[in-house]
Structure 1
Amino acid sequence: MPGPVIPAPAVSAREAEVLTLLGEHLSNAEIAARLFISVRTAESHVSSLLRKLGLPDRRALARHAAELARTEEPRPAPALPAPLTAFIGRARERGELAEAVTSHRLVTVTGPGGVGKTRLALAVAADVAGDFPDGVWFVDLVPATEPGRVATAVAAAVGVGEQPGRGIDDAVPAALADRRALLVLDNCEQVRDGVAPFLERLLAACPRLRVLVTSRVRLTVPFERVFPVPPLSRAGGDNSEAVALFLDRAAAAGRLPGPEVGEGAVAVCERLGGMALAIELAAARCSTLGLDGLVAGLSDQLRILAGGPRANDRHRSVRAVLDWSHDLLEPPDQALLRRVAVFVAPFTADAAAGIAGFAPLDRDGVVDGLGRLAEHSLLAVTPSATGTRYQALETIRQYGTERLTGAGELMDVRSRHLSWCLAGADALAGAGGADWRARFDAVAEDMRAALAWAAERPERRADAHRLALSLAGLAFTRNLLGEAQQRLEQAARLAADAAADSGTGIDADAAAVALRQAAAVAGCRGLGDDMFRLHRAAAEAARRAGDTVGAGRDLATAATVAYRFSSSFTRVPSAEEAAVLLAEARKLAGDAPAAEAAVALAEAAVVADAFGAVQGDTDNTARETIGFAERAVELARRAGDPVAESAALDALSGARSWAGEPFAAAAAARRRIDVLTSAPPSPAGSYEPPPFPAGPHEPPPFPAGSRELIDAPAGTHEMIDALAMAAGTALGVGALPEARRWGGRLAGHPLLAEAGHHATSWLLVADALTGDAGEVLAGSVRFLDAWERSGRGRSFSLGPAAASVAMIHGLSGDHDARRTWLAIVDEAGTGPEHRRGYGAVFDATVLLHHGDADAALERVAPEPEQVWKWVSWIWLHWYAGLRAEAAVLAGHPDARDRIASARIVAAGNPVVSAQVDRAEALLDGDPPRQLAAAAAFEAAGCRYQAARTLVLAGGEHAAAGETALAGLGLAPGAAR
């Protein structure tokens, strides 16, 4: 018995003992028994205490005694289980929950089993223990298997026993009535029906009491404050909370194997969805399985995530945790849980009703059941722009799939899911709108999962083929070109596998059709080797289907690709290899117009062999190539094939350039865009990109089905190439506004969003030659970022683009930045012979701007006839004009001859012709002609050269020229 509380001299020692026992809420009979006095004597002492202390009733005496005890006795230590491992992470949740507990009477911590509710509650209870001087108690309700046993479990933890004449349900509130205390009730879900009424009575009787509950489902009482516990944060990669927990527990289990611990731990934690228990169980096996074995084993999380014997059997494995939650559900909700496990991504109630809404469930039952599963923390609820969505963690999905198999429903539910995905793909294929991408992203993972399942089942091969084609089209529209190619090749394999079957619903030539599409997508990706491989594979598939004409066309196209897109190959096929393909194509093609056009185009590419042309009779070879190309253009036009006609015009443009006809080459390049944009929509065309500088354009998605898709990727690939060639050829003839137009359309093309270095190349060059430093420097950021992200590759157009940025830095006077970009030129450009060409043009421009005419003259010393291959015809006019001007400014004796030569070479080029006129006016000392040249530059859209002309004119014009240069963001040019 505790020592008596003596509150004042007026209270006797015996009365003090009685008062102490009143503080323990004992009855008069119990006091009498404890002090060995009669009940009447005990009653007399109680009456005396009421009088002496001036208190109204027995309850007030008990409260007074408790307060006196608190002032004299040491504060009780929190009655919390001692943690065996360190608490990791949860800093934000820990602070927020602590605030909630001190501000609200009842806080329920909810979340799925294994997420870490109990550890968080214990950590917070320890944190706030100082705010509860009358005690902190922890009650594990797992043993309380009946709702009526809740009060008994709490009484045992608090130390209150049954008393005569008073039930335990009354004893606990009486014991805690005046206590400022915290009660932690753990694992309330299985006795929720008992916890809720018990707490309602307890909190009503104990105004200073706070209760912290952990449960997989909220209690649904009016005074409850719910605190959902999310999975451990994975943000921050190897610095995330989830990874910190994994590494701590793995270190405790033994030395971590391998050097890539952080990266592997990130992968494990991502697969486990941040579930704390799953992470701990996985970490425990890391030392024996290794990270690679652990990652591989997580395809069956329920098997691998099991530990040894533990005090809490429910936490021995993830399966045991989920069994506990599953057994708490009613049968209809158990059915719903296993059926929605088929969804990979967050899903709507409508989607769930369509797949899970069969006996014993109907639509209303599904909708209601989703709410109950969410309340049990088995589904996460996520609001979205398209409505409320539900999602299960991967571990719960695997558990649900096991249950689905056990119930004999797996095939039925998977089939329903597949049908839902096919219907969704059809709906997306015919849709558009600003939310199209979001709608696709919301269902894409489910489509991929359904396709993977169907592709493994011969009886589902036709559905798998259809879904692969649909997903390819949707991925292409979504700018997921790698996946689009992958799905098309998958569709081809499915079609080939079905070739021997009858009644599959797949066309005999479906494999060839899909492979042609895949080749076109590879072209959009700049993968020449894949284009070549896939066209040859399409030819073989066409042969197997009995389509020899199609096979001939495919072989001819493969031969053409080897020449047209040689810069995108890692290994360019030899001329002999291409010639063999062409010979075989001639045999197979027959007189079908489309096949004849393909063969004619291949002849223009293979027979001419541009690389050999410069070593032999260039003029005759060029004329021969022009003949083949013109025939290919005409045949493609007759066949009504705009993609083939554009490809033939590309060959014609190249042949005209080799023949020294740059304006004819540019005209052929422009015609390609006209042909492609005037063609009808798919199946035989593409779309016109938005006019520059419009914002991003949402291309129309593929139609569903197979044959409708045949030319959409090919048309898009052709359009991208046509825009690039139109921009380049326009630059070659000095049509700067036109070059900016086509270059701008290329830069805004949606399929090049990730390839900003390729998309912006020609626009950077056009803006640089125009003299717009602001546009060039802004575009260079996108260029550099995309180039570095793509692996810092080389390309025919990347070198000139980087050199043009270097030129702008040089004209701006930032020579350190210029050196940086010249280093990029060396890395991004193609062969050094090419860099001698465009490099000479841009370097000489900078040198002349700063008045170093001698160095500029040396930079363009070789005759244009010697270096035109280096310069490429695109740079030939610019090279000749700069060579003439450098000769004048350096006082070279052949200056007038160089002017005459350049005038002939660049005739018709408005910018270079103005430059030659300016050079001659400077040589003759003719200011009016210089000013006329300035006006010509302005009319041609070359504001830089217009301003520089004024500087060179000197006198009153120099100041105006310097002001104009400053407006362009360039440094003042050197006067003559």
Structure 2
Amino acid sequence: MQQLGQPVGTDPQVGLTRFVGRDSEVDGVAHLLSTTPLVTLVGPPGVGKTRLAAEVAGRVADQFAAGLVPVPLATVTTGEDVAATVAAALRVRQGPGTQLADALVAATRDEQRLLLLDGCEHVLDTLAALVHRLLATAPQLRVLATSRVPLGVPGERLHQIRPLAPDAAADLFLDRASLVTELVLDERTRQRIDQVCDFVDHLPLAIEIAARQTRVLALPALLDRLRTALQHSPLPMPTSPEHTTLAATIDWSCQRLSGAQQRLLADLSVFAGSFDLAAIAAVAGERDGLLADLTALLDHSLLLSEPAAAGELSYRLLEPIRQHAAARLTQTGCSQQIRWAHAHYFLEAAGAEARGLMGPGGQECFARLQHMEANVLAAAGWARGTCSDLALRLVTCLVGYWEHRGQMNAARDRVEALLEVGMPAPRTRAEALLALCRLGYRQGRYRQAVAEAQEALVLMRSLPDQDGAARVLRALSQVAAACGDVPRAAACAEESVAVFAERGDRHAHAWSLTVLAYAHLCSGDIDAGATAQAAALRLVEPAEPAPALTRRTRVGMSYVAARRGDLVAHRRHLAGTIADLRLLDGLDGESEWLWSAVCLASSEHRPRAVLRLAAAGARRARRGTALPPLVDGIVRAAIADAEGALGPQVAAELRTEGAGMAAEELVTEALRPASTSSPLSPREHEIAMLTGTGLTNAEIAQQLVISRRTVETHQEHIRAKLGVTSRQAVIAWALTGESG
């Protein structure tokens, strides 16, 4: 029996190394043990089940009068030996004419004891029957088990152990590395440690293996070797001396799968990041038993499931397990077939989401593309050497998403690199050139973008593809206007508008109208620009929100308001733009709202805000987002006026502040009341302005990522401070310029 004060559990390292990163989890499991007879810690190989169990047992051991009894089961080879191993740990002997199980029942019936069963997955059936019997007859007995598979005993409470949080993973690496070497902890070293931990998916065992390698490898060399040699480096396993590597402990779990389950695990290795059931079926094939095999992988903790949007589940493989499975897939000879299926599935799925970005539900399309990005890039990386046309189509699907995220430079690099490989089909080349034209507008590479659009237009018309040609005309209009060729810009936009109007495509029609509005504004015709923007907004049904599209119209309307000197409308349209970007999770990627905010702050004589907001816009410019010529002069003049008013030293300090501000801080700065006499706080003012755009409390709560009740409380405070009694009065306050 375990004596108090000694290290507990079956890991020889317990008590010799520091426990890192799971203190709150220890408390949680300890609480479960106080309310549940059987708690099983489940998780993938190397996640730290044994160590966590030992820490929990040590925390609660003194609560059991009969003490704690550790039972190491990893070396038990047959079910027949299970009862004998438990009996040996309990120091129970089999009397003459009695069954050993009966003796165990008699020994535990009346004692308050904690039984720690470590490494149960390979003797489940026999062990589960024994545990069930013991718990049924011993009301004061508690069992804490570790297993890669649930025991399946009635009343069992599962606790899923996940990999460490990033900070805890880095802490563990530093702690274990300090046992074998000395690291100079500068910023670069910490970045490399984070990279090591990210690569092994924050899996504790893999981190410990990596940390021990620092005795002979510098961190850059360690990162280079992670993909091959590291996973086979020796490290004694806590549960079995036979498992001397991470690969061995993963292989141990895989051997307990059926042939079909092993094949499914190998097929899943082509996925990067998360994936859903539809993707699994497309890659592994619809077949009888697929769900049962998938469940087995989850039960063996070789596959993780996580909640996704709309109540769905997503799945992922930890990187060390994925690498092990990928090696198996190569051995099967089916790798190319599976990768083709993977690439074509994500080409179709990402293409569908990309086509919906500007339409109703565009925010959901952005979110789904975010989850698909890793898989699309993985498929493109494989296809580059097999079918460059497929690789280019895959990457082109993500350009609208990357544009929204403000990743213009990276997007262009990927598309251009693949355009230079092989001979893409005419349609593939046309779509890629169109994507480069759109990126070129955002980057300020206008003349290059015109050339790309002209070639794309020739290709689209030769296919022939009227829809594609209209999309190219829209992009060509935008870059032609930026180059100063306004007549050509207007003609291209009008032709695009006519095509989409005839086809009845409301959202494409509205998008083209926003580009026609841009051409008018570049010509100085503010009224014509405002008319086109308003027409675009009317095409968007209120019942079908399309935030990516309404954002474009509101940015344009904010420019119109700025040119007309209408500060009330400017502020209202800016608030609406921010609201749309919040829905798209795009505040940090998009920069157009920032130049609108700079112009508003300048018009309202807020020079400090001008410089902070302009610095944030400059930070985004380094990622490839240039100011449109239409507003470049206005913004430059606003910055010069602010610097002149505050002086160079204060201006430099404000630019530094602005460059480091988070998106939500910038929103507060942008919508800050123009006068200090405003009775509202910045947050109240923001909610009042969003109320003025017509949003309900529920919609405001969604945009600001706060509860509806919090919004309602703010609304009560707003009405009290303004001395009004109705929502309509708040809307009137927001719309009439009484915001200061």
Scaled by the length of structure 1, the TM-score of the pair is: 0.55
Compute the displacement of 1:246 (Å).
Answer: 0.8
Q: 1:242 to 1:754 in 2, by over 3 A?
A: closer
Q: 1:537 to 1:791 in 2, by over 3 A?
A: closer
User: Residues 813-852 of structure 1 correspond to what in structure 2 (within 5 A)?
Assistant: 820=650, 824=654
One-letter code aligned to 1:160: V
One-letter code aligned to 1:218: P
Instruction: Provide the C-alpha distance between the structure 1 equivalents of 2:478 and 2:355, rounded to a whole number of angstroms.
Output: 32
User: Deviation string for 1:97-131 (max 9, x for gaps)?
Assistant: 22223433222111111111111111222222212
Matched with 2:317 is 392
Instruction: Provide the C-alpha distance between the structure 1 equivalents of 2:414 and 2:580, rounded to a whole number of angstroms.
Output: 27
User: Residues 141-290 of structure 1 correspond to what in structure 2 (within 5 A)?
Assistant: 141-234=73-166, 240-256=167-183, 259=186, 260-290=188-218
Matched, 1:439 2:360: no
Compute the displacement of 1:817 (Å).
Answer: 12
Matched with 1:759 is 593
* Structure 2: runs of 5+ lacking an equivalent: 463-471, 498-511, 659-674, 676-736
One-letter code aligned to 1:152: A
Q: The residue matched to 1:343 in structure 2 has which SS?
A: coil
Matched with 1:798 is 635
Instruction: Provide the C-alpha distance between the structure 1 equivalents of 2:139 and 2:317, rounded to a whole number of angstroms.
Output: 39
Matched with 1:699 is 548
Instruction: Provide the C-alpha distance between the structure 1 equivalents of 2:633 and 2:268, rounded to a whole number of angstroms.
Output: 52
User: Deviation string for 1:837-892 (max 9, x for gaps)?
Assistant: xxxxxxxxx9xxxxxxxxxxxxxxxxxxxxxxxxxxxxxxxxxxxxxxxxxxxxxx
Instruction: Provide the C-alpha distance between the structure 2 equivalents of 1:77 and 1:634, rounded to a whole number of angstroms.
Output: 82
Compute the displacement of 1:737 (Å).
Answer: 6.9
Instruction: Provide the C-alpha distance between the structure 1 equivalents of 2:68 and 2:342, rounded to a whole number of angstroms.
Output: 50
One-letter code aligned to 1:356: A
Instruction: Provide the C-alpha distance between the structure 1 equivalents of 2:47 and 2:169, rounded to a whole number of angstroms.
Output: 11
Q: Which of 353, 366, 378 is the matching residue for 1:449? A: 378
User: Deviation string for 1:817-848 (max 9, x for gaps)?
Assistant: 999569758999xxxxxxxxxxxxxxxxx9xx
Instruction: Provide the C-alpha distance between the structure 1 equivalents of 2:377 and 2:611, rounded to a whole number of angstroms.
Output: 35
Q: The residue matched to 1:214 in structure 2 has which SS?
A: strand
Instruction: Provide the C-alpha distance between the structure 2 equivalents of 1:638 and 1:79, rounded to a whole number of angstroms.
Output: 77
Instruction: Provide the C-alpha distance between the structure 2 equivalents of 1:598 and 1:117, rounded to a whole number of angstroms.
Output: 58
Contact residue 346 and residue 442 of structure 1 kept, 8 A: yes
Compute the displacement of 1:264 (Å).
Answer: 2.0
Q: The residue matched to 2:315 in structure 1 has which SS?
A: strand
One-letter code aligned to 1:392: L
Instruction: Provide the C-alpha distance between the structure 2 equivalents of 1:200 and 1:521, rounded to a whole number of angstroms.
Output: 64
Q: CA RMSD in A?
A: 4.9
Compute the displacement of 1:421 (Å).
Answer: 0.8
Matched with 1:611 is none
Matched with 1:867 is none
Instruction: Provide the C-alpha distance between the structure 2 equivalents of 1:339 and 1:640, rounded to a whole number of angstroms.
Output: 45
User: Residues 59-458 of structure 1 correspond to what in structure 2 (within 5 A)?
Assistant: 80-81=9-10, 83=14, 84-234=16-166, 240-256=167-183, 259=186, 260-300=188-228, 303-304=230-231, 306-308=233-235, 312-357=240-285, 362=287, 364-386=288-310, 387-431=312-356, 432-433=360-361, 435-457=364-386
Instruction: Provide the C-alpha distance between the structure 2 equivalents of 1:316 and 1:163, rounded to a whole number of angstroms.
Output: 39
Compute the displacement of 1:157 (Å).
Answer: 2.2
Matched with 1:468 is 395
Instruction: Provide the C-alpha distance between the structure 2 equivalents of 1:827 and 1:214, rounded to a whole number of angstroms.
Output: 50
One-letter code aligned to 1:331: G
Instruction: Provide the C-alpha distance between the structure 2 equivalents of 1:764 and 1:495, rounded to a whole number of angstroms.
Output: 38
Contact residue 764 and residue 804 of structure 1 kept, 8 A: no
Instruction: Provide the C-alpha distance between the structure 2 equivalents of 1:826 and 1:230, rounded to a whole number of angstroms.
Output: 39
Compute the displacement of 1:250 (Å).
Answer: 0.6
Instruction: Provide the C-alpha distance between the structure 1 equivalents of 2:24 and 2:283, rounded to a whole number of angstroms.
Output: 38
Compute the displacement of 1:285 (Å).
Answer: 0.9
User: Deviation string for 1:301-356 (max 9, x for gaps)?
Assistant: x7445225668345422111110110111222212212222222333333322221
Q: 1:781 to 1:162 in 2, by over 3 A?
A: farther
User: Residues 816-965 of structure 1 correspond to what in structure 2 (within 5 A)?
Assistant: 820=650, 824=654
* Structure 1: runs of 5+ lacking an equivalent: 1-69, 235-239, 548-556, 558-592, 606-628, 654-664, 679-686, 702-714, 811-815, 829-845, 847-966, 971-976
User: Deviation string for 1:476-530 (max 9, x for gaps)?
Assistant: 4xx13426x655664455444333xxxx6x01x8546634531432322xx33x4
Number of corresponding residues: 618
One-letter code aligned to 1:759: W
Instruction: Provide the C-alpha distance between the structure 1 equivalents of 2:191 and 2:211, rounded to a whole number of angstroms.
Output: 14
Identity of aligned residues (%): 29
Q: The residue matched to 1:754 in structure 2 has which SS?
A: coil
Contact residue 511 and residue 538 of structure 1 kept, 8 A: no
Compute the displacement of 1:187 (Å).
Answer: 0.5
Contact residue 256 and residue 287 of structure 1 kept, 8 A: no
Q: 1:327 to 1:647 in 2, by over 3 A?
A: same
Q: The residue matched to 1:381 in structure 2 has which SS?
A: strand
Contact residue 209 and residue 235 of structure 2 kept, 8 A: no
Q: Which of 603, 613, 620 is the matching residue for 1:783? A: 613
Instruction: Provide the C-alpha distance between the structure 2 equivalents of 1:650 and 1:370, rounded to a whole number of angstroms.
Output: 57
Contact residue 124 and residue 151 of structure 2 kept, 8 A: yes
Instruction: Provide the C-alpha distance between the structure 2 equivalents of 1:767 and 1:761, rounded to a whole number of angstroms.
Output: 10
Q: 1:299 to 1:541 in 2, by over 3 A?
A: farther
Instruction: Provide the C-alpha distance between the structure 1 equivalents of 2:65 and 2:6, rounded to a whole number of angstroms.
Output: 9
Contact residue 522 and residue 531 of structure 1 kept, 8 A: yes
User: Residues 511-522 of structure 1 correspond to what in structure 2 (within 5 A)?
Assistant: 511=429, 514-515=432-433, 517-522=435-440
One-letter code aligned to 1:340: L
Contact residue 4 and residue 61 of structure 2 kept, 8 A: no
Instruction: Provide the C-alpha distance between the structure 2 equivalents of 1:396 and 1:261, rounded to a whole number of angstroms.
Output: 26
Contact residue 744 and residue 760 of structure 1 kept, 8 A: no
Q: 1:185 to 1:746 in 2, by over 3 A?
A: closer
Q: 1:521 to 1:204 in 2, by over 3 A?
A: same
Q: 1:488 to 1:805 in 2, by over 3 A?
A: closer
Instruction: Provide the C-alpha distance between the structure 1 equivalents of 2:105 and 2:5, rounded to a whole number of angstroms.
Output: 19
Instruction: Provide the C-alpha distance between the structure 2 equivalents of 1:122 and 1:597, rounded to a whole number of angstroms.
Output: 67
Q: 1:310 to 1:334 in 2, by over 3 A?
A: closer
Q: 1:381 to 1:805 in 2, by over 3 A?
A: same
Q: Which structure would you say has the larger Rg?
A: 1
Q: 1:777 to 1:391 in 2, by over 3 A?
A: farther
One-letter code aligned to 1:369: D
Q: 1:252 to 1:754 in 2, by over 3 A?
A: same
Report which structure shows greater RCO (CA 8 Å, sep ≥6): 2
User: Deviation string for 1:171-228 (max 9, x for gaps)?
Assistant: 3333334332222111000000110111122333434332211111110110322222
Instruction: Provide the C-alpha distance between the structure 2 equivalents of 1:446 and 1:414, rounded to a whole number of angstroms.
Output: 11
Compute the displacement of 1:445 (Å).
Answer: 2.2
Instruction: Provide the C-alpha distance between the structure 2 equivalents of 1:243 and 1:297, rounded to a whole number of angstroms.
Output: 19
Contact residue 80 and residue 136 of structure 1 kept, 8 A: no
Contact residue 8 and residue 54 of structure 2 kept, 8 A: no
Instruction: Provide the C-alpha distance between the structure 2 equivalents of 1:77 and 1:647, rounded to a whole number of angstroms.
Output: 76
One-letter code aligned to 1:318: L
Compute the displacement of 1:741 (Å).
Answer: 7.8
Contact residue 8 and residue 58 of structure 2 kept, 8 A: no
Compute the displacement of 1:276 (Å).
Answer: 0.9
